[in-house]
Structure 1
Amino acid sequence: MPQGSSHRVVLVVDENSNPFEMSCAIEIFGLSRPELGRDLYDFRLCAADPQTRMRDGFFTLTGVAGLEAAEQADTLIVPNRPDTEVPRAERVLDAVRRAHARGARLVGFCSGAFTLAEAGLLDGRRAACHWMWAEAFRARFPRVRLEPDVLFVDDGDILTASGSASALDLGLHLVRRDHGAEIAGHVSRRLVFGLHRDGGQRQFVERPLPTVPDESLGPLLAWAQERLGEPLTVAGLAARAAVSPATLHRRFRSQLGTTPLAWLTGERVALACRLIERGEERLDVVAARSGLGTAANLRARLRRETGLSPSDYRRRFGPTAGVLESGDAGR
């Protein structure tokens, strides 16, 4: 797990790369965090050429490190670009292969999955890419287990996001995986971006805009977040908002891209993570205060969301990180 800014994240920019995904990486991994008292990552940009023309010639990137910077990456974000039929430069693919061979974590945003597949690193593995390119991707890389309907895929040391906005989802997922829910929540609030869009959530595929925009869910969400330990239900949330459950579902889908139940569960898991990070060791207390009900449900939900058991999560992110408390192994 990254400690402070000792974990180096390097983003490779290639000819015709998308500026948006580059900006997402800078926002999440590159900005200083003085309010936290430390920076989370050591972030670098690099490119194969001294001058790199960005997508559609919007601007030319200069003044960044050469590809040698990729050799020091603990996490390497590979290039993406809209012209997926144009092969990546072999020297870029070689840099990606070398990073993988020495154990670096690889990340592909949007069409970055094409770069990883061209490098031969996705055969037999799960990956996500934008729904517009799913058919072309399958045709070119039939040995990759493409999951075209999800926002992102975490396959351990290789992670891929489906589209532009899901780069933020995957980036926040990495912050949560590396630094815990409390820090990830802080970063998401600074971005004014929702933390809990699960990686398995479906992409928005040609969804028409509503004729009349729904009212904001903000007041209802704030009300529910203050009462996560109470027996909240979708029907109860709908009654609070003075709408039918079906209307509430439509509003959640339209405004948050998820369902009321999935949002509620995500908020409860995040609260449980924060309680563990702050030192609460009694799983029944964490489960009750977060609204997850039982220790068994807490274990299942936490493992699904973070890949860790409560004891592992406490060891990694708790107030005494790295110290296993007496009797904790059975929790």
Structure 2
Amino acid sequence: MTWPVDFLPHRAQTRRVRNVVVLVQDGAEPFGLGSMCEVWAEPYHPEDDNPVFDFKVAAPRPGRVRGASGFDLHVEHGLDVVEQADLVCVCPKRDHLAPSPEVAAAVAAAYERGATVFAHCTAAFVLGEAGLLDGRRCTTHWRHVAELVERFPAAEVDPDVLYVHDGRVVTGAGSAAGLDAALHLLREEFGAATAASAARRMVVPPHRDGGQAQFIAHAVPDCDAETLGPLLSWILENLAADLDVESLARRALMSPRTFARRFRAETGATPHAWVTRQRVLRAEHLLERTDRPVEWIAGEVGFANAATLRHHFARVRGVSPQAYRRQFAC
């Protein structure tokens, strides 16, 4: 359903992404399409004030598109609708090594005129065919990393991340990471509160860092200590506290070395990286929802001073806290 422009939530009228097209091909994977629909095809919910997009699903030829899981799709739109898209999402297909040349050409043309392109899972191969991965960081599902490297040797493939956002090209690792990447894009366009609201509706975590490992190669060994889950919750409630490895290890009743190893095994990140990310996320929320000065926010989230907050915020978000507030303040 497409809402009239004057019915769109206020945030949707001030950002770049308004028209979203999802491209499917024969052999379309249903989870990839479903995850895109969950983020970009929702109607307006007054309680969330969520953005609503002009959302379309398109295929090289309108009509029947073979699915990969025992059912097919009926697609109304052809590739001509890509010409109006601000965001082009490409869904994976079963035979990922044979992407449609027409789809690759449409994606390349969309990128050239300024659209953002998002490839879910093995749809990264479409972006490779479109020439968009040369010299660019990217990822795909860990099972197909070697194929992507072999087929597109000029691409900088990172096998150990959930998603990569490089310029106007986003690639995701597949399956649940498609939701992570889509929520990341929503966050970039509409701010932390909007992305958190969408995640709450989908009953998923509001944010998983793109640099997090795709999977943990070895199971965490059994031991008498509890899982780190309670400690992570405590950290989120005490971000202003001293959260260095030694202090956290003492709270977890472990040696610093054992704690750091176990933390990485359970979260896919180092304690410092994880804590820093949570502090930046909390700072985003405070910048959006309060008019408190940056100095106050820095202390509230556990950074030593405003300069430290600005440093870490710029590394994560690419803008200063003040610029972020100007764009996303409610």
Same fold (TM over 0.5): yes
Report % sequence identity.
40
Q: Indicate if the aligned counterparts of 1:11 and 1:79 stay in contact, CA closer than 8 A.
A: yes
With normalisation by structure 2, the TM-score equals 0.85
Moved more, 108-117 or 193-202: 193-202
Task: Please give the alpha-carbon distance, in whole angstroms, between the structure 2 residues aligned to 1:266 and 1:195.
Answer: 13
Task: Please give the alpha-carbon distance, in whole angstroms, between the structure 2 residues aligned to 1:145 and 1:218.
Answer: 34
Q: Which amino acid aligns with 1:44?
A: K
Is 1:317 aligned with 2:328? yes
Q: Which amino acid aligns with 2:130?
A: A
1:115 partner SS: helix
Equivalent of residue 53 in structure 1, options 62, 66, 72 = 66
- Name the structure 2 match of 1:85: 97
Is 1:280 aligned with 2:291? yes
Equivalent of residue 85 in structure 2, options 73, 95, 107 = 73
With normalisation by structure 1, the TM-score equals 0.85
Label 1:65 to 1:216 Cα distance change in 2 as closer, same or farther (>3 A).
Answer: farther
Task: Please give the alpha-carbon distance, in whole angstroms, between the structure 2 residues aligned to 1:105 and 1:14.
Answer: 19
Alignment of 1:249-328 (within 5 A): 249=260, 252-319=263-330
Segments of 5+ residues of structure 1 without an aligned counterpart are 320-331
Is 1:12 aligned with 2:20? no
2:12 partner SS: coil
Label 1:219 to 1:148 Cα distance change in 2 as closer, same or farther (>3 A).
Answer: closer
Is 1:193 aligned with 2:201? no
- Name the structure 1 match of 2:134: 123
Label 1:3 to 1:149 Cα distance change in 2 as closer, same or farther (>3 A).
Answer: same
Segments of 5+ residues of structure 2 without an aligned counterpart are 1-9
* Alignment deviations for residues 32-77 of structure 1 (CA, whole Å, 9 cap, x no partner): 351222434333222224111122x421011443323322211001
Query: Shift of residue 82 of structure 1?
Result: 4.0
Moved more, 309-318 or 62-71: 62-71
Alignment of 1:138-153 (within 5 A): 138-153=149-164
Task: Please give the alpha-carbon distance, in whole angstroms, between the structure 2 residues aligned to 1:258 and 1:43.
Answer: 35
Q: Which amino acid aligns with 2:12?
A: G
Query: Shift of residue 271 of structure 1?
Result: 0.9
Task: Please give the alpha-carbon distance, in whole angstroms, between the structure 2 residues aligned to 1:20 and 1:247.
Answer: 37
- Name the structure 1 match of 2:241: 230
1:44 partner SS: strand
1:36 partner SS: coil
Task: Please give the alpha-carbon distance, in whole angstroms, between the structure 1 residues aligned to 2:257 and 2:137.
Answer: 34
Label 1:250 to 1:61 Cα distance change in 2 as closer, same or farther (>3 A).
Answer: farther
Query: Shift of residue 254 of structure 1?
Result: 4.7
